[in-house]
Structure 1
Amino acid sequence: MANDGNSLKYKRLLVKLSGEALMGRNGYGLDNAVVDRLAADLAEALEAGCEISVVVGGGNIFRGLQGAAKGMDRATADYMGMLATVMNALALQSALEAAKAPARVLSAIPMPTVCEPYVRHRALYHLERRRIVIFAAGTGNPFFTTDTAATLRAIEMGCDAVAKATQVDGVYSSDPKKNPNAQRFERLNYSEVLAQDLRVMDGAAIALARDNHLPVIVFSIEEPGNLIKLLRGSARATVIHD
């Protein structure tokens, strides 16, 4: 039987997953074992009583900025990147259903043959009925990142926080994989992130979180079970807030 979530620090959480997280150590596409592990973590969070939603990127398949850098029209390239996120969202939904966690994909670009269109009240309906909601196609607009989409959807859903899943256990002053002396931050405010250009998320996403008092949590998704630790307040992570 599912828990009621009373022991959780965050009762409603949006998790931002990059496309790169889904490809594991592959150079492209999806690593099914990694997708299954991430789905198991999300299913565990749902079982613990958290209302979970997810925004997934598409960089493992196509990046709009890279397409534009090669001469493609930027808006067209961004739309292609949004379609890549739908593919990832469907793969994650399949893995969640296999893990006995009901899930729904809602796309900002309507494509009713494969998933539901994004409608705020529909998304809230699914969350309240203990389904994991996967938001696909970013905001539906070019020139906006999936980080901005994650922040926007978290605010629309009334989430307690947005959790950005990364390969490291928080925010550092520089890449800790390249600089062993990089400083790790336990807590930051939005102004510090912007002033120090820490690149946690793009500037629009951080400004949107700041203006709506939405905490941003940066944690590692590499360790299985880390999401439930985050929900209980015991994960090693960086919290960005007022």
Structure 2
Amino acid sequence: MPYQRVLLKLSGEALGDPQTGHGLDTDAVKRVAAQVAHVASLGVQVALVCGGGNILRGAQFSELGTNRASADYMGMLGTVINGVALSEAIEAAGAPTRLMTALEIREVAEPFVRRRALRHLERGRVVILGGGTGNPFFTTDTAAALRASELSCEVLLKATKVDGVYTADPKLDPSAERLPRLTYMQVLERGLKVMDGTAITLCMERGLRILVFDLFREGNIERAIRGENLGTLIQA
């Protein structure tokens, strides 16, 4: 395997209703869990960060009048709900897990401690990281870049609904072209909506590769880890 330790970033919508992206859809959770458990069975160390947009987006909720910091904490709790669902589903699919959170919720999960997370990975457990960074105003993309850096992951796998980064939205512009390779600076300069600027900058500073690929094609997580040519690779 080209990659031995990876961080998988999922959107909350990947676990939601296939039509709306809202709530938790049992079949969607099981499909993702089966792919993750299979990859873990191959001996790859997997850390996982999931967004909470299927439950609540702090930035959007704050537009209704809620204080932004409070709205972001609500979003962080949404990621913990998703983390519990993923933990149960991945274990049911045959892989041991540990849910760790940036917010301390000891009855639900372990608090995130870097050395403890590394020990879990080395023992073959899928480490699910909830609660974002634990701070408001930061996205779960930034949390993924931060945790991947802390845990010395070799690549950040950004799983999406499309098969890579395009010159425009392929759903709106049929002439949009997929970009198989990009540099961090090209993403920032072109304003490509891959991850937020803070996450891209952190990956650039750490030299952390980002692979953007289609989650919904069966087996793509394994293909990504095997280094097959798919999606868009972002690197120096």
C-alpha separation between the residues in 2 aligned to 1:124 and 1:24? 33
Aligned to 1:176: 170
Residue type at the aligned position of 1:208: L
- Aligned match of 1:55: 49
- The alignment partner of 2:128 has SS state of strand
Distance (Å, rounded) in 1 between the aligned partners of 2:146 and 2:163:
24
Please list the CA deviations of residues 173-224 of structure 1 after superposition, one character each: whole Å capped at 9, or x if unmatched: 1111111111211100000000000010000000000001000110000111
- Pick one of 134, 152, 155 that aligns with 2:149: 155
| Superposed displacement of residue 71, structure 1 | 1.1
1:139 paired to 2:139 = no
Partner residue, 1:25: 18
Which residue in the other structure is 1:5 paired with? none
Is 1:187 paired with 2:186? no
Partner of 2:216: 222
Of residues 61, 86, 92 in structure 2, which corresponds to 1:67?
A: 61
Q: Does residue 231 in structure 1 map to residue 225 in structure 2?
A: yes
For structure 2, the residue ranges without an aligned partner over 5 or more in a row are none
Matched AA of 2:184: Y
In structure 2, the partner of 1:76 is 70
Give the letter aligned to residue 4 of structure 2: K
Whether 1:108 and 2:97 are equivalent positions in the alignment is: no
C-alpha deviation, 1:24, in angstroms: 3.9
| Correspondence for 1:11 | 4
Whole-angstrom distance in 2 between the partners of 1:60 and 1:235: 30
Runs ≥4 in structure 1, deviation > 6 angstroms?
A: none
Give, in whole Å, the separation in 2 of the partners of 1:24 and 1:56: 16
Q: Does 1:41 align with 2:68?
A: no
Counterpart contact for 2:101–2:131, Cα < 8 Å: yes
1:233 Cα deviation (Å)?
Answer: 1.5
Does the Cα contact within 8 Å between 1:219 and 1:235 map onto a contact in 2?
no
Whole-Å separation in 2 of the counterparts to 1:86 and 1:235: 33
Q: Distance between the aligned counterparts of 1:71 and 1:105, measured in 2? A: 32
Q: What is the CA–CA distance in structure 2 between the aligned matches of 1:80 and 1:168, rounded to whole Å? A: 28
Secondary structure class of the residue paired with 1:141: coil
State the TM-score, normalized to the length of structure 2.
0.98
Letter in 2 for 1:190: Y
Tell whether 2:104 aligns with 1:128.
no
Alignment identity in percent? 51
- The one-letter amino acid of 2:76's match is M
Alpha-carbon deviation of 1:68? 0.9
The residue that corresponds to 2:92 in the other structure is 98
Match of 1:166 among 160, 165, 168: 160
Aligned pair count reads 235
Unaligned segments of structure 1, at least 5 residues:
1-7
1:213 equivalent in alignment to 2:213: no
User: Quick one: distance in 1 between partners of 2:108 and 2:160?
Assistant: 28
Task: Report the residue type matching 1:194 in the other structure.
Answer: L
Once the two structures are TM-superposed, the CA of residue 26 in structure 1 deviates from its matched residue by: 4.5
